[in-house]
Amino acid sequence: MKLVIGNKNYSSWSMRPWVLLKAFGIPFEEVKLRFDFTPGSSFYRALAEINPTGQVPVLVADDGFAVWDTLAITEAIAERFPAHAIWPVDAKQRARARSLCAEMHAGFGKLRNLCPMNIEADLSHIGPDLLAKDEGLQKNLQRLDALWRDALTASGGPFLFGAAFSAADAYFAPMVMRVSRYGLPLSPAAAAYAKLIQAQPAVAAWVADAMEEKDFLDFDEPYRKSRD
């Protein structure tokens, strides 16, 4: 089984299934494609062979069958490895976890667009200014904070759905990176959760790899002209 991903420093969507697989100790081969959105680039040529959308991530089974989109990939992993509690065991909790992931998948546009994931950069001087100027970003951050707090309160924590790491935690890991790197304020409960997620071995491994890339892609860098 292969997981095709983009640059770890920038690719928030790729981070989700990678962290999920690593967290549950599910073996896979990583295939990393350097982002290059030039028409006809090697990035697009490689993806054209497996994925009609031209986007990462893509999960490719041993027989070559490909699944794309992070929600579909997460469900495919859960079905293929039923012994792992990818989703919460309780039916209501499972439905709620899927609701939260779907909300993340479809929403939080201001937070994603104004604060693109950039793991190796310290943008803590940028975040508060963005937050002060944009009401949509304020609302996204407030909702994210409330979503985490409500889930933690209902489940008892320390993860979103109880004592064990689940797909929901993997799904929100890139948001943890954003609030951390952009210095966005969180309530004490949400901040503690963000700190816990950063300490998870699978998340820490992704971050370490991102720090080692030392790649600068100007189209993913709205706030810097270089790595320096």
pLDDT along the chain (228 residues), means of 10: 98 98 98 96 96 96 96 98 97 97 97 98 97 98 98 98 98 98 98 98 98 96 93
Second CATH level (architecture) for the domain 2-84:
3-Layer(aba) Sandwich (3.40)
Question: Are the C-beta atoms of 24 and 74 separated by less than 8 Å?
Answer: no
- Other CB atoms within 10 Å distance of the CB of residue 176: 23
Token output for 139: 């609302």
Instruction: Kindly report the backbone phi and psi dihedral angles of residue 115, in degrees, each rounded to the nearest multiple of 5, phi listed first.
Output: -125, 65
Q: What is the CATH number of domain 91-208?
A: 1.20.1050.10
The pLDDT of residue 228 is 78
Residue 12, CA distances (Å) to 19, 49, 84, 172, 178 in order: 11, 22, 23, 10, 9
Supply the pTM of this predicted model.
Answer: 0.97
Q: Which secondary structure element, helix H or strand E, spans residue 134, and what is its range?
A: none
- Chain-centroid distance of CA 34 in Å reads 17
Tens-place pLDDT, residues 23-33: 999 999 999 99
Q: The tokens 């997981």 sit on which residue?
A: 3
Domain ranges of the chain: 2-84, 91-208
Listed residue (223, 133, 139, 136) closest to 181, CA to CA: 223
Q: How buried is residue 163: exposed, middle or buried, by Cβ count under 10 Å (0-12/13-18/19+)? A: exposed
Tell me if the bond preceding 185 is cis, omega within 30° of 0.
no
